[in-house]
Structure 1
Amino acid sequence: MKQLTLLIVLVVLYCLPMQAQPGKGVRWSHDGQAYFKATPAGIEVYPLSGATATVKVPAAAFNGLPIRDFYFSADEKKLLLYTNAKKVWRYETRGDYWVLDIATGKLQQLGKGKPASSLMFAKLSPDGTKAAYVSEHNIFVEDLQSGNTTALTTDGTRRFINGTFDWAYEEEFGCRDGFRWSPDGKQIAYWQIDATKIRDFLMINNTDSIYSFTVPVEYPKAGESPSACRIGVADIRTAKTTWMQVPGDQQQHYIPRMEWVPGKNALIIQQLNRKQNESKVMLCDAATGKVRSLYEEKDSAWIDVKSRWDDDNIAGWDFIRNGKSFIWVSEEDGWRHLYNVNMEDSKVTLLTPGNYDVISIAKIDEANNTIYFAASPENPTQQYLYKVLLTGGKAERITPANQPGTHEYKISPYSNWAIHDFSNAVTYPVNENLQLPAHKSSTNAVMNAISKAGNAPNKPEFFDITTVDGVTMTGWMSKPANFDPAKKYPVVFYVYGEPAGATSLDAIGAGRNFLYDGDMAADGYIYVTIDNRGTPLPKGRQWRKSIYRKVGLINARDQAMGAQALMKKYSFIDPERVAVWGWSGGGSMTLNLLFQYPDIYKTGIAIAAVGNELTYDNIYQERYMGLPQENREDFVKGSPITYARNLKGNLLYIHGTGDDNVHYQNAEMLLNELIKYNRQFQFMAYPNRTHSISEGPGTFEHLSTLYTNYLRTHCEPGGK
């Protein structure tokens, strides 16, 4: 059972465009030679050398509080503990915080008089004498010695938000923690979000009370203006705020990034216009609020912010030379590359020339004049560690050539150690500590795991397929057990197909269907995925952005033509038994394939789909589709409900009624269209479940059983 549960978790992580929980980063020791980890024994120190772990802070010191997360002060003399965590939309970002003085043993709760589990993003001041946090949409600073608390803001409400963000900013930019201590600890810079003009979307809870009640979400739909946003700097001593004089209409622009500039009483921010195709980096004088433009960028489609390529992490700014310049990621030359932006004269220098994409920055090692980054120039389904000189030049691969798959590196503060995580389609996740830049491991855990998995049965086969449109796509295929090429087998396509995620990665989860109750290979199914244009593979800007204003059209055609090309190439695929399924954007894709290409796809299972693109949030939908006020017809053409009348095959549609992300109204709009044209289908609503349909006892088992039974009934398994 443990292995099954682990597999489900891993496949969800790798195959669905889910986001990672905040606060998951490594807690490095001050000297960079070890990392800290919370265990039942307390906070333990794990040397990167592999030496035995020791207890730094015993659990008894904090009365055995169940620790959700923790942070040490810069001098490691104080320990900030996060416990009793509760969800805010998707993530557990509010709870209780405690501070432990390690030398004296004093343990004190922050915000003691405030409601339980109401504190968010507590942070110790740079000198460790104070703590700041958000509670009920206001920002507070608490003196750790006296316990006195100062409110830096007092006007916060559910719709007027200080120090954190509204639903759309969190979901689409990865913005959650909305304040920053100044380096000298005398000021706090923060976001203020004014959602008072945003209409509430009302979800209905029919199950937790005899009388139903509504659950409001401030949710700007496509075509609606976003929340207004501004940046303030609060003086800790006076509690007075100086507002930054950022140009432009506050409700027609976004400010997804803001940090303090090292060594200056200044902020650096990134502002996007509403269409998100114009980006401006600006410097803000914290004392006067005056702002000047530093670097501007435009794109005919859209511009991705840091969280889109940095594992949903929007925080931080990659400064070098003591804040005199910074490293910037841009697709200006057609590939995602690294640039050095000089803050004194705004000169921009390309650092990673070549026809390949930088996937993400792993570490900037200024002491050794090196930038470590992830890339995979030869195979877009994989990921490896590269390095380049800080002055730019030819990239050098660090990951050994005999370790094919997906690699991630968490590099220590001084860049001489890394925690190396690895998996591929047949190798379960494994990690090891290794030394850089030699990539030397004392345990060889990754190589041993690769060798052990080398003879795994029923390996998924990776392929390239070219369609009649001349589009070449990557994918994988998992064949049935005891495969006989002379027989014809049913095929199940797993799809997503939007800019938020790729499915053809060479990582654990490839070839596995976490929702199927049983063994698809043993039952005689072929399982396939293909990544169409518009997915975030490292194949260049044109690949990713060709989907602009064509979501629901170009991606659906790529999938359909890819399926046709596969069936033409492989005679063992039975064209009469073709099924497709997906979740969220993949659910939308499933509907579009069933409705737009009914002669190809015979059975579909769509979960939590956007049936009408006009119902989804403005940040996501307008980024990829433009503004409905200007090109509404594109939204209509890309929406599955437009083609619902064309349904010929078998459809199972599933949605949670408490979905705050893709609202349940999508299900009812779709049902109305199908009913209008007398199209028969099966429908399952999960009461009060969210987008993940994970809440409540028995939910996953029920969903898995429903999915499996429907597939077996309408797409008969086995070779013929």
Structure 2
Amino acid sequence: MKKYLILVFFICTSAFAQSDIDINDLNWLPDSHSFWVNENNNLKIYDVDQLDKHTTILTQKQLSESGFSGEIEGIVWNAAKTKVLLYTNSKKVWRANTRGDYWFFDLATGKGRKLGKNLEESSLMFAKFSPDNENVAYVSKHNIYLENLQTEKVTPLTTDGTDKIINGTFDWVYEEELSARDGFRWSPDGKSIAFWRVDASATKFHLMINNTDSLYPVVVPVEYPKAGERPSSVKIGTIDITSLQTNWLNIPGEPDNNYLARMQWLTNQSVMVVQLNRNQNQATIYNCDTKSGTAKVVYQEEAAGWIDVFDVSSGVYDGFPCHFVDNGKAFLWSSDADGWMHIYKISMDGKKKELITTANFDAYFMAYNDKTKTIYYESSPTDATQRYLYETNLNSKKTKRVTPDAFDGTNKYRFSTDAMYARHLNSSINRDYNIRLVALSGHKKILPKEADTFQAPRRNYSLEKFKVTTVDGIEMDGIMAKPLDFDPSKKYPVFFYVYGEPMGAVANDTPYFYSLIAPLIPKGYIGIAMDNRGTPVMKGTQWRKSIYKNIGIINTHDQAMAAKEVIKWNFIDADRVAIHGWSGGGAVTLNLIFQYPEIYKTGIAISAVVDQRFYDNIYTERYMGLPEGNEATYKKASPVTYAKNLKGNLLYIHGTGDDNVHYKNAEVLINELIKYDKMFDLMIYPNRSHDIDEGEGTTKHLMDTFVRYIEKNCPPGAK
């Protein structure tokens, strides 16, 4: 139920003193602090310790002579960094372009060739070298293949892959809600592959219809388990690449009533698996023997609400949540069971659990430096709109803030794989995005050589932060956008932007406001974004998980009560109040305009979930519980329940090709509004997905429709 939040921004470019390379182009190599850059298909490697030198590993001429003519979209390295796979010609699967073509290049000779030459174009997924450098494995059409680099022989390791039997990758819902895409792992010795097998045979299709691309309509099926439906059956097996025999892990629990969220090899004969139960309030870590299939419980955790195996708002896919320390004798694990997100060290036998980050603020794990025993994590002890880097030593427990005081605001780090260096991005509402390469020890700047300069954001409105306390005593953070000619003696229309669910926050200390609303601010609007209880901000467990079985309820209430306080301000015109949200925010928009017509006069909801039962099971059941036994809560949470109360101006927008929040939601809402003779406006975009960005002219048309509707129904300008 998430629409990734749209911001209008420009990331500044900072060139290395030694070259013309942009820091934005820096891509870290495995197990090092070297990085590669692509300069017009000339691939170069730099070492942070010797930036005055570089090595060109492949030239445009070598690529052309091998027949490679595409755009380099990614590089996969072998362990010795002597061979690479170039990813190109990619195509979208669900959210991302995760299938494409891979080209193998030997860096010693500069020669290369395309992999899987007899397989369908742009069908290869997640290609990776075997640790012994003899083979490459990849997925194509839901089967796993092995290709020998010397003989070029391609061997199918699985043969039962279909649209419903998925080997080595995942179905829609695992990718969307468990951030799982890459579904296989090489054993350390390169003799076996562990993989997920998803059996979606019992999962029903949601049928979409393409009415525009052919003479007759085309039915587009999407396997989609909705709330209350059992998950697809998932199991993990290991394939011996010599015998081609598969052993299945005997993990307790019904395979179609639990989730195998993460997996990683420990030794050549053991795999660690993280399992979530159906309600996602119990996480169990198993150590599994790949020969016998036996699974031994290492650690188990339970919660009253749900358990975050990974940071759902981070945008990171396939990351393993256990980080091994003490030469593999223990691992780091994150949990907010004590009221804060903290990092623990757990022994591999599960008998010892030690709290590492002890301060009373949230600590979200980012990286670990094994040499210095330093744990790096994201925190914001005093201002939940901001983000800073902190560190704690694993042994001494000594804790300090790494980000210097000069970099107030939001700070993001992309770590070298040895966690010694990082690309640091800083911004705030008062400064534009700025970027640098730093050594994490002392936060010493490496590049650019010039002194830091902080530029004011290039925008035609101002931003400021505020806090508002509701009648319930709930203090909420907010970001406010004002026109540059703001006059506090006059009254302005206010436009609220909402999201309000556990997948994202909107009141962030960043330099730009939300893109659909931003063009309206200079015309004479006040823009407001606030974070209610249940959003993933660093205010502790109680704040974040108060929304359990309360989606659509507590967030709606908090937003409305905060809005009531905002419209008391002297410069707000209470008769001109608009609201907009997308996806989960679209649902909140509908709930607010239906339930609080005395506050909200005009609303634009896009791609909204109008009935909680219509969304997928992993997301909805995680936060709402199963529909069985919670029918009243589901009904109370759903906007369609209140559609009969519409009094203001409503524009509803949806794409018919939305495989995330289905167009079905639009038609159910339309029927309910018709039933009660409620007048509203509607814009449907044929075959557009959840982002409504496909097709020539779509983005401009959406923006123009949005702006015209607001200007007509909530006129701009101070009075």
Partner amino acid, structure 2, of 1:494: Y
1:522 corresponds in structure 2 to: 522
1:366 matched to 2:370? The reply is yes
Asked whether the 8 Å contact 2:461–2:522 carries over to 1, the reply is no
Q: Is 1:114 equivalent to 2:119 in the alignment?
A: yes
1:304-703 superposed matches below 5 A? 304-308=308-312, 310-316=314-320, 317-359=322-364, 361-391=365-395, 393-443=397-447, 448-450=452-454, 452-453=455-456, 458-509=461-512, 512-516=513-517, 519-568=519-568, 570-703=569-702
SS in structure 2 of the partner of residue 555 of structure 1: helix
Structure 1 residues 446 and 519: alpha-carbon distance in aligned structure 2, compared to 1, 3 A threshold: farther
CA deviations 1:172-231 (Å, max 9, x no partner) are 011110000001100000000010000000000000011001000000000100101101
Distance change >3 Å, CA 309–CA 288, structure 1 → 2: farther
Give yes or no for contact 1:422–1:446 (8 Å, CA) kept in 2: no
Counterpart CA distance in 1 for 2:694 and 2:453 is: 35
Within the candidate set 231, 236, 240, 2:241 is matched to 236
**What secondary structure, in the 3-state scheme, does the structure 2 residue paired with 1:460 have?**
strand
User: Structure 2: which amino acid aligns with 1:461?
Assistant: E
How much has 1:31 moved relative to structure 2?
7.4
User: What amino acid is aligned across from residue 351 of structure 1 in structure 2?
Assistant: I
What's 1:276 paired with? 280
Secondary structure of 1:327's aligned partner: strand
Per-residue deviation, 1:588: 0.7
Kept in 2: contact 1:152–1:239 (CA 8 A): yes
In 2, the alpha carbon distance for the partners of 1:471 and 1:396 equals: 30
Q: Shift in Å at residue 55 of structure 1?
A: 2.8
* SS of aligned partner of 2:426: strand
- Write the distance in 1 (CA, Å) between the matches of 2:263 and 2:343: 20
* Deviation digits for residues 544-600 of structure 1 (CA, Å, limit 9, x no counterpart): 1101111111100100000111222x1110100000001111111110000011110
Aligned-partner SS, 1:92: coil
Call closer, same or farther: CA 1:163–1:40 in 2, change over 3 Å. Answer: same
Deviations 1:108-159 (A, max 9, x none): 2211111111111110111221000011111111111001122211111110
Q: Which shifted more, 311-320 or 380-389?
A: 311-320
Cα separation, 2, equivalents of 1:498 and 1:707: 23
The answer to whether the 8 Å contact 2:460/2:522 transfers is: no
- The 5 A counterparts of 1:149-188 are 149-188=154-193
Deviation, 1:345, is: 4.4
1:78-128 Cα deviation digits (max 9, x unpaired): 110111101101110111111011112331221111111111111011122
Q: Distance in 1 between matches of 2:73 and 2:407?
A: 34
Percent identical among aligned pairs is: 48
Classify 1:534/1:345 alpha carbon distance in 2 versus 1 (closer, same or farther; 3 Å).
closer
Q: Which amino acid in the other structure matches residue 435 of structure 1?
A: A
What residue identity is the alignment partner of 1:617?
Answer: D
- C-alpha spacing 1:406/1:599, structure 2 compared with 1 (3 Å): same
- Measured after TM superposition, the shift of residue 461 of structure 1 is 1.1
Q: Which residue of 1 aligns with 2:103?
A: 98
Q: How far did 1:445 drift?
A: 8.0
Quote the residue 1:60 is aligned against: 61
CA deviations 1:51-71 (Å, max 9, x no partner) are 365532112222243211112
Partner of residue 303 from structure 2, selected from 289, 299, 303: 299
Tell me which residue corresponds to 1:204.
Answer: 209
What's the CA shift for 1:9?
6.4
Amino acid at match of 1:320: V
CA contact (8 A) 1:26 1:410 kept: no
Residues 169-178 or 44-53, more deviating: 44-53
For residue 454 of structure 1, report the CA deviation from its aligned partner.
8.3
Residue 136 (structure 1) aligns with: 141
Q: Which residue of 2 aligns with 1:288?
A: 292
What is the alpha-carbon distance in structure 1 between the residues aligned to residue 271 and residue 96 of structure 2?
28
1:30 deviates by 6.2
Q: Cα 1:456–1:193, aligned 2, differ >3 Å: closer, same or farther? A: closer
TM-score (ref. length: structure 1) = 0.94
Match of 1:21?
none
SS in 1 for 2:438: strand
Amino acid at match of 1:145: Q
**Alpha-carbon distance in 2 for matches of 1:463, 1:51:** 46
Does the Cα contact within 8 Å between 2:58 and 2:110 map onto a contact in 1?
Answer: no
Question: AA paired with 1:386?
Answer: Y
Distance 1:426 1:56, change over 3 A: farther
Conserved in 2, the CA contact under 8 Å of 1:174 and 1:307?
Answer: no
- Kept in 2, the 8 Å contact 1:48–1:433? The answer is no
Change (3 A) 1:33 1:501: closer
Amino acid of the residue matched to residue 483 of structure 1? Answer: F
Q: Tell me, what secondary structure is at the counterpart of 2:98?
A: strand
Supply the distance in 2 between the matched residues of 1:446 and 1:287 (Cα, whole angstroms). 57
Give 1:15's aligned residue: none
Residues 421-466 of structure 1, C-alpha deviations (whole Å, 9 max, x = no match): 122224332211112211111456897342x328987431111110
By how many angstroms is 1:522 displaced? 2.3
Residue 10 (structure 1) shift: 6.2
- The structural deviation recorded for 1:310 is 4.5
Query: Matched residues in 2 for 1:508 and 1:242: separation?
Result: 52
**Mean CA deviation greater in 402-411 or 694-703:** 402-411
Q: Distance in 2 between matches of 1:281 and 1:25?
A: 37
Distance 2:26 2:325 in 1: 22
Cα distance change, pair 135–571 in 1 and its aligned pair in 2 (3 A)? same
| SS of corresponding position for 2:701 | helix
* Kept after mapping to 1: 8 A contact 2:498/2:530: yes
Aligned residue identity for 2:566: L
State the SS of the aligned residue for 2:273: strand
CA distance in 1, matches of 2:25, 2:79: 16
Shifted more, 540-549 versus 43-52: the winner is 43-52
Structure 1: runs of 5 or more not aligned: 1-5, 12-23
2:14 is matched with: none
2:200 to 186, 190, 195: 195
* 1-structure distance, mates of 2:451, 2:280: 43
Compared CA separation, residues 587 and 143, structure 1 to 2 (3 A):
same
> Is the 8 Å Cα contact of residues 342 and 355 (structure 2) preserved in structure 1?
yes
Does the Cα contact within 8 Å between 2:32 and 2:416 map onto a contact in 1? yes
Q: 1:445 to 1:565 in 2, by over 3 A?
A: farther
- CA offset digits 1:225-255 (Å, max 9, x no partner): 0101101010010110010000111111000
In structure 2, relative to structure 1, the CA distance for the partners of 1:224 and 1:26 (3 Å cut) is farther
Kindly tell me: are residues 333 and 307 of structure 1, through their superposed partners in 2, closer, same or farther at Cα, counting changes over 3 Å? closer
Offset of 1:418 from its aligned partner?
1.6
1:3 corresponds to = none
Instruction: After superposing the two structures, state which structure 1 stretch, 664-673 or 298-307, moved more.
Output: 298-307
Partners of 2:82 and 2:107 within 8 A in 1: yes
**Partner residue, 2:74:** 69
> Does the 8 Å contact 1:580/1:605 carry over to 2?
yes
How far apart, CA to CA, are the structure 2 residues paired with 1:348 and 1:30? 30
